Structure 1
């Protein structure tokens, strides 16, 4: 093995394993689109000598169901969790894995063994030094709890080599190993072994990480308080995505729950908050205003997810009927209100992801053929059984609006429907129950490899299909660019035949940032607050 430092590890990843991420990175303005991971204008860097405030209030748009990073990170969860916890690796804005708690990594010549050398002297928020036993316990729990990690690593486990070394032995080379360790969803966070060992089935009860902020208090449905961790030891490198240096310039950070979009925006206008998502209707109030920058960032892709265990959609012909009925432009317009904020895309990957984007199966995208859909319903023997849509009005109502448009399109071809609406946290619980829903319409955080697509997993939408699993495994095992393309095209072609989901399209979001908020970095809408400073007015 050859020991690789941070500066050379990405080179190995790109040249030896050819695990290339093709996403671009730029600072954003209100006119830019298509960037999967965005920084603002560094929100004015922290180099200014102007005195800063000691506290920052940050508005969350949805309820927080858990702060357990291994169970769920999405939206509000991610905003909090990603600033408390850290992993061995983190994505930069090009979606490249960069060492964080790992100092360096060895990869065996056959690509099957990864040996992670941990940074020494790193303290958890409880004062304990992070060691290999903590990393191994955390990552093995993550691998067991996170569907995408379990699906990728199977029975492989993270083993302690010595106090500062952890090894992962795979059955075969995998091109997604570091991507899985870097992704923000079902985050591979490192926490003390004793926290892992005492975790209840429903999640951890102590929120102790190594990040720049440590947990203070969580008052359900109101706020979560964190404070700067005085003993935080930052990784090296320029701040980029969630990688690099983190040096917060505030003492206290309150995440306030403000689920109503109008209330959240009005609170920004009055100066209570320095950052907010902006609807199209509200955009004129902030665009071009002095002291406010408006950026446009990739938000998520939207999909119609079928419950493959439900009485109706266990039948492929019924899934085909829905897919033929969909007019995706109408759905996207109903979701984000403007063509400026969506893009048609048949691939499960964003267009800037040059390695994994594929047009295979695109002839089954946006068919908008109600007559064919009705014909398929007759062939399937659909008996008028009511199909249940699962949704939420949280998240600015986007999931709900998209659901209503899909519902209307399906009722026109003969489906009898019902919409069950819950708060976001309850909806997540219901979504895991195969007996209570048939269709879920929702957005998904930027994926970087096919193995991170939850809906290809048997535990999410219940895609229990041997050929899909085989093709997914093949896409992960491919190493050369030619093999990756062939495996990926085969996977996406079959995915459009099997229809675990029907892709709708990709969406964007406007954000407004006050100039006094310095150092904020956005990664697909998730805030890296590790370098923020709030200038005094």
Structure 2
């Protein structure tokens, strides 16, 4: 273990010295997750029943945000901090359990027609919004129609189909083509298909809703920009009776207030945790020794994200697949993942665009193109493509070390085969904006959260990395419209095999992270790194 940390530390130090002059200015936060203990030895506070604690209960949970907050509109939410907050305010028709399976939440039940084209959702009755209004089909249809027209994942999948009211408590979705992943799409934590009052949705401006009213266990109180978001217990929350799991099942707000505080600097965030200002915090290799043997602190290991290298298919070079193949050939996934996690315990190699746990969609088709570590092949492909020393622009941010450290390692691998590079560093919100601009970048390396179905993979659609390819679109449609397990597997294998040829993105691997929590925090659930603060209590 020590040798891995020493190697990656020395490598990153050298890269920082070598490449700083080529990088634009940005805040210096380079912490990465690390932990020396086996995951099986880490206690799981979520397994401790809150009801069994006899200590006096506190009234406030304090949780840090590591990324800036460009919006609190759940339909527009792309970043981790957005989802961290909005998943505790809003709910959808479905929610993922701990196995990333969609479970009914605001939907009481649903039916799917035999041809997979018609979905009928029967809603729970008596569910109240935070403004006291009862949720009806009108609210659900308005919310989901706005969501499908706004969220990139939904827009490319649903087309012209719409959600329609059928009485006060039934919503019907009629599709032109069959879909096998509608429930999963309605569960996803980013571009969250949250249900809001119809009047809030209809009043929304292009940059988002101006009131944050949901049905969740906590209601919005205040957002002080660049400082904190304050939530409070919703006394009229209507819980389901199913067993709590992930973000699904029974929820109860066990504290009166929740404060999500912006703390983008790793060192400041951790020191604030030690000082008692936060109840939980992410842990990196520098801060781990201060908490790993503390009897008052527990470490939770959580499957955090997968890492992918996205190619800008509209850029001068990477519109040509041969340049994409050249970069893919040189990639050393272990080096990049070590730059993120600093220890093999917190990453795993994985050629699939889905987690292994997601059995229905996991595929190893095309895996011969994964993690090739072949600089000679890469150089040959560059020569065939006619590379003449053009600068390749790498888009990143320093607000979380995972982006920046991985990008530096990628830069080193590219320069080892003679590619001239430039690292462009922005604050997190600006990076997200730049990523949507055709002329602003060539390569983007970063984490992607909760890959649940192919339709949820942003880089497979034309609006993200500009994967405007007819064959890819055809195979994506076939994979998400197949009916029956055998047909789904065959279609999914064909999709992934072609993606490794077309290379909208190149898979790097999957990462875990550790979160340190205080012993006075009970019942915290993490899913994909996001906290479900319902059923979570804190001692005084």
Normalising by structure 2, what TM-score?
A: 0.91
Matching residue of 1:98:
103
Q: Which residue of 1 aligns with 2:170?
A: 165
Where 1:489 maps in the other structure, the secondary structure is: helix
Which position in structure 1 is the counterpart of 2:211? 206
2:38 paired with 1:31 = yes
Native 8 Å contact 2:116 2:180 kept in 1: no
**Which of 142, 149, 166 in structure 2 is aligned with 1:144?**
149
Match of 1:468 in 2: 472
Equivalent position SS for 1:320:
helix
List gaps (5 residues or longer) in structure 1: 1-28
Counterpart CA distance in 1 for 2:272 and 2:314 is 44
Q: Quick one: distance in 1 between partners of 2:226 and 2:523?
A: 28
Q: 1:60 aligns with which of 49, 56, 65?
A: 65
Q: 1:43 to 1:402 in 2, by over 3 A?
A: farther
Contact 1:42 1:521 in 2 (8 A): no
Deviations, residues 213-269 of structure 1 (Å, cap 9, x unaligned): 111111111111111112111122121110111111111111001111122122222
Shift of 1:43: 5.0
Conserved 8 A contact 2:217-2:234: yes
User: For residue 399 of structure 1, what is the aligned residue in structure 2?
Assistant: 403
Looking at structure 2, the residues matched to 381 and 101 of structure 1 have their Cα atoms a distance apart, in angstroms, of 55
| Residue 240 of structure 1 pairs with residue 270 of structure 2 | no
Q: CA deviation at 1:49?
A: 3.8
Are 1:452 and 2:443 matched, yes or no?
no
* Structure 2 unmatched runs, 5+: 1-35
TM-score (normalizing by structure 1) = 0.91
Query: 2: CA distance between counterparts of 1:444 and 1:207?
Result: 25
1:479 paired residue among 470, 473, 483: 483
* Contact 2:44 2:300 survives alignment (8 Å): no
Aligned equivalent of 2:25: none
- Report the secondary structure of 1:493's partner residue: helix
2:22 aligned partner: none
> How many angstroms does 1:494 deviate by?
0.5
Number of equivalent positions:
504
CA-atom RMSD in angstroms: 1.7
Distance in structure 2 (CA, Å) of the matches to 1:333 and 1:56: 33
1:190-230 Cα shifts (integer Å, max 9, x gaps): 00111111111111111111111111111111111111112
Residue 500 (structure 2) pairs with residue 496 (structure 1) = yes
The structural deviation recorded for 1:425 is 1.0
Match of 1:72 in 2: 77
Distance 1:470 1:40 in 2: 45
Other structure's SS at 2:402 match: helix
Q: Deviations over 1:456-484 (max 9, x none)?
A: 01101000000011111111112222111
**CA distance in 1: counterparts of 2:431 and 2:319, whole angstroms:** 21
Preserved CA contact (<8 Å) 2:143 2:195 = yes
1:349 and 2:365 correspond: no
User: 2:73 & 2:397 partners in 1: Cα distance?
Assistant: 22
User: How far apart, in 1, do the equivalents of 2:65 and 2:237 lie?
Assistant: 25
Alignment of 1:116-131 (within 5 A): 116-131=121-136
Cα pair 2:100 2:358 within 8 Å, conserved: no
Q: Secondary structure at the match of 1:174?
A: coil
Q: 2:440 maps to which residue?
A: 436
| Aligned counterpart for 2:120 among listed residues 87, 93, 115 | 115
1:188 aligns with 2:197: no
Q: 1:39 to 1:92 in 2, by over 3 A?
A: farther
Name the CA distance, whole Å, in 2 between partners of 1:328 and 1:190. 39
Residue 153 of structure 1: CA displacement? Answer: 1.6
Q: Distance between the aligned counterparts of 1:108 and 1:494, measured in 2?
A: 30
**1:14 aligned residue:** none
Aligned to 2:21: none
Matched, 1:376 2:385: no
Q: Report the counterpart of residue 508 of structure 1 in structure 2.
A: 512
Task: Please name the residue that 1:335 is paired with.
Answer: 340
